[in-house]
Each structure stands twice: as structure tokens, then as C-alpha cells.
Structure 1
Amino acid sequence: MDTRQDELRRDLDATLQARKELGKEYESELVDSFMKRLDARLDARVERSVAARLDDEPAYRHRSRRPGRGGPRPGSRLAVVSLALGIPLTAIAGDPGHGGIIGLLACWAGIVGVNFAAAFADRREEQRTRSRDDWD
């Protein structure tokens, strides 16, 4: 038997012995007292169990879902949209009447610049949230 069960059994025996000595008029107070001690022990046991489970679980389960932690990243949407818009923009900018090769280079430099800025912002936000998580 567990020592906690032994203590609980002794408390119950002591409560029953006190009831025999004091009589039925103190029965409700004795039962209330025993129940309060039992509740306190159960609460402590539940807290220990929850704390042990939280310690055993991986850290990612406790954190809210953030970009970059599974699933598609917001930057990947921008990359797909950039490529989809890059096709007609390439046709327009590559037309000799609208700029030719210079227009084409300017168009793709803009697309690459926007994607680079978005990726840099995502990485910076990820580092900022990671540094805050170290204090949790």
C-alpha cells in the first residue's frame, strides 16, 4: 500500500474513533473535517499530476500556433502570389514598347525585393517571439 493511502486510512480511523468517543452529535463536524482534508489531498495530487504531465509534454503543445511552426507560412502565400503575378507583369514589362529588358529587370527586381522584405520581417518576428518564449 502507498504511504498516502496509509495516511488516509489512519485519518479515517481517527475520525471514526473520534465519532465513537464524541457521539453522533459531532458526526457532521467530523465528516466535514475529514472531507476537507481529503479534498486538500486530492487537490495536491491533481496539481502534482498536471505539473508532471506538463513537464513531460513537448513545449510546442503549450504555445499558441504561430507562423512557421507547422502548416503553411504567410510568406509562402506571398511567394505564390508573386509568381502568379510575375507572369503577366513579365509580359507587360518585357514588351519593347514598355521598356524591354530594362522593364523586365525592374519588374523582377521589385518582385524579389518584396519577397525578400517579407521573409526578413517573418524571420525577425520569429526571433522576437522566440526570445520572449525563453522567459515563459
Structure 2
Amino acid sequence: MDTRQDELRRDLDATLQARKELGKEYEEELVDSFMKRLDARLDARVERSVASRLDDYEPDHRDRHRSHRPWAPGRAGNRLAVISLALGIPLTAIAGSPESGGLTGLLACWAGIVGVNLAAALGNRRDRDERRPRGGWD
């Protein structure tokens, strides 16, 4: 048998022996004490198991993709750019029609699209700079 099982068996035997000596009036306290020790051992075993499984994974897996691929497909800046271009097609047709202002409407429409994307890009850059750890020389 495993040494941990031997320890558990000794603890159980000691608890049963103490129950025989102390009587039934202390049975609840003895069982609670044994269960607390058993819970602590189970918790430690689960923590060791989880820690060993986490060691199998690459620790910086998620952070590596964020830092090396700033224009990854799932980023909010890319989504805004794609949505802006998709909405830009019908807006170009609407704003470029003679009833909506022609060239002036077209320029206003695309200036708005560029402005929104530029503001989002600058906001993302500022957020990224704020999260960057600073050294002692900054």
C-alpha cells in the first residue's frame, strides 16, 4: 500500500480507538476531526494533480499570441475595420448619389469612417501603452 494510505489507515484506527476510550458522547467530534484531516489531504492531492497538469501546458500560450500577432483576427480593432469596410459599401452608394450630395457626401462619408477607425486605433494604442510594464529608467 501507499504511504499516504498507511497514514490514513493509522488516523482512522486512532480515531476508532479514541472513540472506544472516550465513548459515544465524543463520537461526533472525533468524526469531524477525522473528516477535516481527510478533506485537507484530498485538497492537497487535487492541488498537486492540477499543478502537474498545468505544468504540461505552455505557460505563456495565450500571451504569446497576443504579443506576436497584434492584428490577430479576433481583435476588436480588426472587427471594427471589417465592419467599417462592409458598411462603407452601401454608405458609399448612398452618399455618392446626386440626391445626397455627390462627391461632397462621398468625402464626408469616408472621412467619418476613417475618423472612427483612427480614433479606435489610437485608443487601442493608448490602452496598450498603459498596460506595458515600465522599467526603472522610464
Q: Does 1:41 align with 2:41?
A: yes
Give the match for residue 30 of structure 1. Answer: 30
Separation (CA, whole Å) in 2 of partners of 1:3 and 1:69: 53
CA pair 89-82 structure 1, distance change in 2 beyond 3 A: farther
Contact 1:89/1:107 (8 A) holds in 2: no
Of 99, 121, 124, the match for 2:123: 121
Q: Deviations over 1:21-70 (max 9, x none)?
A: x1644661433332232223223333444454555555678xxxxxx897
Using structure 1 for the length normalisation, give the TM-score: 0.52
Of 70, 74, 88, the match for 2:93: 88
Q: What letter corresponds to residue 88 of structure 1 in structure 2?
A: A
Contact 1:19/1:27 (8 A) holds in 2: yes
CA pair 128-60 structure 1, distance change in 2 beyond 3 A: farther
Separation (CA, whole Å) in 1 of partners of 2:55 and 2:88: 47
Structure 1 residue 8, shift from structure 2 partner: 0.8
Separation (CA, whole Å) in 1 of partners of 2:130 and 2:52: 29
Contact 1:15/1:31 (8 A) holds in 2: yes
Structure 1 residue 115, shift from structure 2 partner: 1.9
Q: What letter corresponds to residue 41 of structure 1 in structure 2?
A: R
Using structure 2 for the length normalisation, give the TM-score: 0.51
CA pair 11-32 structure 1, distance change in 2 beyond 3 A: same
CA pair 69-19 structure 1, distance change in 2 beyond 3 A: farther
Q: Report matched runs for 1:57-76 at 5 Å.
A: 72-76=74-78
Aligned residues between the structures: 119
- Structure with the bigger RCO (C-alpha within 8 Å, sep 6+) is 1
Separation (CA, whole Å) in 2 of partners of 1:25 and 1:105: 90
Unaligned runs of 5+ in 2: 63-69, 134-138
Q: CA RMSD in A?
A: 4.2
Give the match for residue 11 of structure 1. Answer: 11
The alignment-based identity, stated in percent, is: 65
